[in-house]
């Protein structure tokens, strides 16, 4: 296959490029480096099956030659990033998604949309199945991200219904691993960075809120299983292992031998209190389930962040 990966120089996108190339596909990576970096795909520069295009997907985008799939991962993803880039986040989730849908349509390609567990907002149903419509504050401080992704899903299904475009929609739950930026503000990168510096870990609120963390290799394997299937989705891809932020902090401090403890900070507004994917659909329809538990995944991530901090 020849696959366009929009947002391919980001954390997840770069791992997706690697996985596609490893299985023999060709990749056209499109990125404007808003939150990603050419360094994430630097190791692919000499690969003849890899092409890097510096472009904003909200603008004109022409890809020469046949394309089998357009995979849309372009968007700021960390709360810190989308708070700093609210209009860019709304633009890429609306205009950017529309441009990429048009690209897929013009090329007779399958369109893959990287959506998010954030479409469930601060969920009152737990765990979250794909049938749940969510509990989102449409004007809240996270709304530029949540609503942009909900709009992307609506656009994607509209193209499917109106033009019969083949689509795949994945709802990604908190994913972590090497190539997360130490300063990206997400909880796993923050905690590891603080612990490696011997600082106390910053717990927002009382730390009783939960997340379910998926290791990047599992997540990408789920993307490919969905891409290769005939399912439109939406399909949750995440690890159902659910942890409070206090539990995560204790584990990071243990694995890094950090004795600086914890410090409490204010809870951001509309911060979801709980999150856990129901992955029955992924198991039954894709034969997918995660393999890497949190301890193992953190043991693989800590050395990466340590190496970036040393450079
Ligand atoms: P990331 O910030 O590392 O990657 C996003 C990439 O998109 C970056 O390389 C950025 O430069 C690029 N980009 C942003 N706007 C663009 C534009 N207008 N044109 C071209 N490129 C643009 O984030 P990530 O964690 O790799 O997330 C990738 C995707 O997965 C995002 O769409 C995100 O919403 C989704 N997602 C991620 C998670 C997670 O836990 N990592 C969870 C849910 C959803
Ligand atoms: N969080 C925290 N300390 C940090 C960063 C985040 O306690 O240094 C909390 C945050 O308030 C949220 C959870 O960790 O409850 C996950 O935050 P993240 O930004 O990683 O992702 P989210 O799931 O909120 O998009």
Helix (H, G, I), strand (E, B) or coil at 269: coil
Q: Does position 74 have pLDDT exceeding 90, yes or no?
A: yes
β pairing state of 2-6 and 26-31: parallel
> What is the domain partition of the chain in residue ranges?
2-176+214-238+277-292
Query: Measured from the CB, is residue 178 less than 6 Å from ligand 1?
Result: no
What is the value of pTM for the model shown? Answer: 0.98
Mean pLDDT for the stretch of residues 200-222: 98
The residue whose CA is least distant from atom 12 of ligand 2 is 271
135: β partners:
121
pLDDT digits (tens, 9 = 90+) for 99-120: 999 999 999 999 999 999 999 9
Tokens representing 263 are 């410090």
The pocket around ligand 2, CB under 6 angstroms, is made up of 79, 174, 186-187, 190, 202-204, 209, 211, 245, 267-268, 271
| Mutational test site, ligand 1, from 12, 87, 275, max ligand atoms within 8 Å of CB | 12
pLDDT digits (tens, 9 = 90+) for 144-196: 999 999 999 999 999 999 999 999 999 999 999 999 999 999 999 999 999 99
Contact predicate 157/167, CB 8 Å: yes
What pLDDT, on the 0 to 100 scale, is given for residue 222? 98
For the domain made up of 2-176+214-238+277-292, give the CATH fold: Rossmann fold (3.40.50)
Helix (H, G, I), strand (E, B) or coil at 126: coil
Alpha-carbon distance 296 to 311, whole Å? 24
What pLDDT, on the 0 to 100 scale, is given for residue 298? 98
Alpha-carbon distance 71 to 56, whole Å? 15
Cα angle 292, 38, 40 (rounded to 5 degrees) comes to: 15
**Which residues does 251 contact at the CB level (< 8 Å), separation at least 6?**
243, 294, 295, 298
What pLDDT, on the 0 to 100 scale, is given for residue 264? 97
Burial readout 211-228 (b: 16 or more C-beta within 10 A, e: otherwise): bbbbbbbbbbbbbbbbbe
| Mutational test site, ligand 1, from 5, 17, 41, 77, max ligand atoms within 8 Å of CB | 77
What pLDDT, on the 0 to 100 scale, is given for residue 82? 97
Q: Which one, of 269, 306, 298, 87, lies nearest residue 193 by Cα?
A: 306
Percent of the chain with pLDDT over 90: 100
Q: Which one, of 261, 263, 245, 93, lies nearest residue 174 by Cα?
A: 245
CA of 186 to the centre of ligand 2 (A): 6
**Could you give the maximum distance between any two Cα atoms of the chain, in Å?**
58
Percent of the chain with pLDDT over 70: 100
pLDDT digits (tens, 9 = 90+) for 262-301: 999 999 999 999 999 999 999 999 999 999 999 999 999 9
Tokens representing 249 are 């902090």
Residue 72: its H or E element: strand 69-72
Mean pLDDT for the stretch of residues 50-65: 96
Give me the active site residues, please. 145
The residue whose CA is least distant from atom 1 of ligand 1 is 10
Ligand 1: nearest atom to the Cα of 56: 19
Mean pLDDT for the stretch of residues 45-52: 98
Query: Measured from the CB, is residue 112 less than 6 Å from ligand 1?
Result: no
What pLDDT, on the 0 to 100 scale, is given for residue 280? 98
Q: Is the bond preceding residue 127 a cis peptide, omega within 30 degrees?
A: yes
What pLDDT, on the 0 to 100 scale, is given for residue 311? 86
Q: How confident is the model at residue 231 (pLDDT cuts 50, 70, 90)?
A: very high
Locus of tokens 């475009």: 165
């Amino acid at each position: 296959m020849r696959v366009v990966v929009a947002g391919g120089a980001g954390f997840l996108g770069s791992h997706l490029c690697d996985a596609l190339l490893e299985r023999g596909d060709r990749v056209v990576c499109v990125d404007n480096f808003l939150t990603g970096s050419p360094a994430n795909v630097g190791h692919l520069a000499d690969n003849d099956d890899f092409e890097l295009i510096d472009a904003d997907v909200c603008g004109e985008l022409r890809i020469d030659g046949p394309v089998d799939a357009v995979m849309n991962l372009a968007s700021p993803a960390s709360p810190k990033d989308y708070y700093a880039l609210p209009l860019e986040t709304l633009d890429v989730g609306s205009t950017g998604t529309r441009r990429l849908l048009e690209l897929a349509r013009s090329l007779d390609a399958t369109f893959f949309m990287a959506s998010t567990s954030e479409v469930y907002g601060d969920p009152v149903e737990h765990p979250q199945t794909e049938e749940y419509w969510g509990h989102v504050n449409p004007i809240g401080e996270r709304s530029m991200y949540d609503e942009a992704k909900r709009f992307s899903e609506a656009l994607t299904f509209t193209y499917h219904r109106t033009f019969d475009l083949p689509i795949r929609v994945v709802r990604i739950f908190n994913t972590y691993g090497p190539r997360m930026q130490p300063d990206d503000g997400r909880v796993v990168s923050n905690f590891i960075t603080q612990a490696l510096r011997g600082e106390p870990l910053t717990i927002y609120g009382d730390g009783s809120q939960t997340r379910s963390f998926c290791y990047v290799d599992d997540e990408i394997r789920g993307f490919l299983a969905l891409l290769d299937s005939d399912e439109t989705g939406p399909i949750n891809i995440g690890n159902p292992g659910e942890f409070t932020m206090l539990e995560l902090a204790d584990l990071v401090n243990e694995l890094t031998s950090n004795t600086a403890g914890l410090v409490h900070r204010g809870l951001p507004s509309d911060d979801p209190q709980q999150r856990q994917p129901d992955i029955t659909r992924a198991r039954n329809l894709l034969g997918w389930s995660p393999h890497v538990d949190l301890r193992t995944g953190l043991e693989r991530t800590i050395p990466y962040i340590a190496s970036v901090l040393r450079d």
